[in-house]
């Protein structure tokens, strides 16, 4: 959140524990990765029922692609 406040580009990974966008960083310089699941908004601190499926659904390649987009944008500045 501090980086987003300062206008830095941010990749933010979120579980579906809370409602969508409740804690998303402010600003336009963010890429949020969050999966929609049927148990969204559960507010559970420890997900024993679904084994944290909302987090486990986030793929490494999705995060890598997001980082690549940011790096590409940085390379196109100026």
Q: Is pTM, for the whole model, over 0.85?
A: no
State residue 54 phi and psi, 5-degree precision.
-65, -35
Contact 55, 42 (CB under 8 A): no
Query: Tokens 């559960």 label which residue?
Result: 42
Query: How many CB atoms lie under 10 A from the CB of residue 31?
Result: 17
pLDDT tens digits, one per residue of 21-61: 888 888 777 889 999 999 999 999 898 889 999 999 999 99
Q: Is 24 helix (H, G, I), strand (E, B) or coil?
A: coil
């Amino acid at each position: 959140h501090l980086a987003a406040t300062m206008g830095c580009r941010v990749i933010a990974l979120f579980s579906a524990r809370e409602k969508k966008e409740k804690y998303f960083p402010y600003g336009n310089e963010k890429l949020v990765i969050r999966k929609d699941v049927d148990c969204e908004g559960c507010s559970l601190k420890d997900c024993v029922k679904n084994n944290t499926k909302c987090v486990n659904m986030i793929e490494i390649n999705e995060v890598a692609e997001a980082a690549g987009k940011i790096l590409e944008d940085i390379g196109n500045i100026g």
